[in-house]
Every structure is written in C-alpha cells, then in structure tokens.
Amino acid sequence: MIHEFEQKVYYADTDAYGVVWHGAYLRWLEMGRVLWCEQMGHNLSDLKAADILLPVVNLNVRYKASARLDDEIIILTWIEKFNNLSVTFKQAIKSKETGKTFIEATVDVVAINNDGKLYRKMPAVLVEVFEKALKCPASV
C-alpha cells in the first residue's frame, strides 16, 4: 500500500542557491510516514498513549536532483520490509509535473516504550498493519 501526498515548495524550503535545502526533504519524509500510519488507522499520539513510540534508527537518502521554488512535489511512502523487530519504509519525492525523482530514501523504524526501552517484538497492533501493507505490492 502506497501513501501519496502533494506539497508545494515554498521559499522557506530553499537555500541560498535557490534549490530545496537538503533538510527540508527530511521533514516531508517524516510527514509521509506519519500520514501513512494514519491511513493505516494509527495516529502517533494514540500509539504514544498506548506506550508505543516509533523512532527512526537508520536513514539513507539518495539525492538525485534538486527541487526548486514553486515546484509541486509528490511524496510517496510504502513498506519495503518488516521483520518483527523493525520496519523499513521506502520513500520517494518526485516532481508532480514531470515525474522526475528528486530523492529516494530508506528509513528503518523500531518500536520502543515511552521510557525508551526497545520492544523485543513489534507490538501486535502494528504487526497486523505492517503485514497487511506488505501484502499490497507497491509499484512506483
């Protein structure tokens, strides 16, 4: 299952060279993962109330091209793999107009409790969601 949303590039997203600042992409990736979870029925505030947090433990971003001011971009998010201890999100940011890929990212997330202790196994409420998502093939 792929989650997709659109975003306009604003002046605050760019750097002195007039291209999107590299850190702005990370904010959009985070938004994509949060919206993906909400699409699957899990609000992160509700998960926190249930003693489940989902921190990023590994982030790999490949910058392929630069988005620019006023570009309309599409952020795509899906599950690449799940192994009961962690889940790997695959994400891409593309031009809405041309389909050109600006970045590709792989993000590993684990589950911890509110005290920061790692769950040895992903909580059952999330296992069901991640397994369901893997059954819906992603084609980008």
Residues serving a catalytic function are 15
Locus of tokens 């893997």: 134
Contact indicator for 53, 123 with CB cutoff of 8 Å: no
Residues 6 or more apart whose CB falls under 8 angstroms from that of 119 comprise: 52, 110, 111, 112, 113
CA 68-72-76 angle, 5° bins:
110
- DSSP 8-state code for residue 12: G
Alpha-carbon Rg for the chain, nearest whole angstrom, is 16
Contact indicator for 87, 107 with CB cutoff of 8 Å: no
